[in-house]
Structure 1
């Protein structure tokens, strides 16, 4: 099967500021493909314990992005490209997307990934029994708003599987951002057979979940403070997944994270403050990666000065203040010289 994919899935969250990391340098030999020939183990940190493997229960996906894949994935340039979908046909009104899935994409247990797995996953996310934290992302797909408002059952969502490898998505209106939105892990498939098999145990532990992405959470060797991922043996592009293991350690102390990075026990650490970014951004190990963050500035309309309150209450006054802000300087002062200025709510 000829198709290309990225074995790290990057999720775009909100609006455009750069995320920055410090990564350990290596002197290992490389083969002709530029891939390290020695043992490929990546050591990463997180501040959140592994509470669930249910994509419908996660508010953030973090390191688990690498276990999930959907109709589209995100390239290194932040663009959406087809992944589990082989092709897509869009009607003239741009309100119906018909996806043809690859017939040789498999779950980590060897089951074939089908269109019904997407229908099950999306309906489940909108079901009142599930209450997916980010279920509002489905709004725009036909009937999603009414389902969220309790006016219709989840089975009325505008998604269907006329056959095993065809998925049809109906929209309420054209959505130019749909491919980008569908890269978000919440829109990935879920194995209906496995979910029914394990019932309430489903996705509560690694042995009660299966994975469509390049990696899967190992069922052995995990603790409350440490878990790890290994390659999915049935992933469609497994020949291009070079990492043998991804270790993820839960940290409660920021200083401990830095100490382990400096001592070589972590391969990467995210720089959180402007001071750290300015200190390290000229070093060779510093990397600015496309990442996004939204910060809302609210106006205080009930202050002690009535004249100021009246001014702030006017929409045009708030708009004038917004136009007066030097966004480039604000972002670079807050997040370092490599930060990109947001041009709107939707990131590039």
Structure 2
């Protein structure tokens, strides 16, 4: 996230001290950031929480407990949070009267309830206990004709990451074989909802260069080969690498988030 800000990469690598970062206060209400090269999307990065301003008084007061509950968090947005202990699954957001544009905020409060099961969330929605709910992949297939059904596009991409410290994944061909064995379009269709197969890390529809989508311009013949579904080539690469490793089969563990769609990807891929 910080890469491109002056000295950020060297600081992360331990080659320079944190106070050499190209960021400084240029007045009471002005922050000056020095970049090592042009970053056209830099202002968009500011929406990520790692760049949010921190209240020094609160950080020093709460120490390691800072931001771990509603009471130890400082707010400068349109809402104040109350009732979150750090582990409970429900809390409430109240309108922040001190927000700079409070007159534009129409809601007085928002109640959040974390439901780990999409089916439970949908039942609560049907009972009028929730105003909105994320659907499971199966429910999204069944309810596409419902007037309440809405697809909201996000710019997120889900992907597998190999542990390159393991010898079996240090081979480019092994990683390519696993990649080419996956049919991303079929997987996305099976998961339901608005999922689409991705050919790279960047989600489509985020930005255009001229009249072309950035994702189209960022693809090469080599990358399209690896992200495409090529069963025979995948098997060839896989067998070749197994022989080099002296193995007859390959087994590995996949760690995933406790989110239904993430957990569903695994059996679908197998």
TM-score normalised by the shorter chain: which range applies?
0.5 to 0.7
* Distance in 2, Cα, partners of 1:245 & 1:234: 15
Q: What do residues 177-210 of structure 1 show as CA deviations (whole Å, max 9, x unaligned)?
A: 3222222122111111222233344333323322
* Change in CA separation of 1:175 and 1:295 when aligned onto 2, cut-off 3 Å: same
Q: What do residues 242-274 of structure 1 show as CA deviations (whole Å, max 9, x unaligned)?
A: 11111112335444323212111111111232x
Which of 28, 37, 42 does residue 164 from structure 1 map onto? 28
Which of 249, 263, 269 does residue 113 from structure 2 map onto? 249
1:160 is displaced (CA, Å) by: 0.9
Which of 140, 145, 154 does residue 282 from structure 1 map onto? 145
Note if contact 1:215-1:229 (Cα within 8 Å) is conserved in structure 2. yes
Residues 1:269 and 2:269 aligned together: no
Residues 1:238 and 2:94 aligned together: no
Note if contact 1:222-1:228 (Cα within 8 Å) is conserved in structure 2. no
User: Residue in 2 aligned with 1:224?
Assistant: 88
* Change in CA separation of 1:295 and 1:157 when aligned onto 2, cut-off 3 Å: same
Residues 1:294 and 2:157 aligned together: yes
Report which stretch shifted further, 213-222 or 173-182. Answer: 213-222
SS, match of residue 111 in structure 2: strand
Judging by fraction of residues, say which structure has more strand: 1
Residues 1:188 and 2:44 aligned together: no
Note if contact 2:94-2:108 (Cα within 8 Å) is conserved in structure 1. yes
Higher relative contact order, structure no. (Cα contacts within 8 Å, ≥ 6 residues apart):
1
1:340 is displaced (CA, Å) by: 4.7
1:148 is displaced (CA, Å) by: 1.6
* Distance in 2, Cα, partners of 1:268 & 1:291: 17
Note if contact 1:328-1:341 (Cα within 8 Å) is conserved in structure 2. yes
* Distance in 1, Cα, partners of 2:146 & 2:115: 25
How many residues align structurally? Answer: 199
1:140 is displaced (CA, Å) by: 1.9
Query: Structure 2: 5+ residue runs without aligned partners?
Result: 207-270
1:314 is displaced (CA, Å) by: 9.6
Q: Which runs of 4+ in 1 moved over 6 A?
A: 220-223
The TM-score, its normalising length taken from structure 2, stands at 0.61
Residues 1:346 and 2:210 aligned together: no
Judging by fraction of residues, say which structure has more helix: 2
* Distance in 1, Cα, partners of 2:48 & 2:175: 37
User: Residue in 1 aligned with 2:189?
Assistant: 332
* Change in CA separation of 1:314 and 1:202 when aligned onto 2, cut-off 3 Å: closer
* Distance in 2, Cα, partners of 1:207 & 1:297: 37
* Distance in 2, Cα, partners of 1:296 & 1:142: 29
Query: Structure 1: 5+ residue runs without aligned partners?
Result: 1-136, 303-309
Residues 1:210 and 2:83 aligned together: no
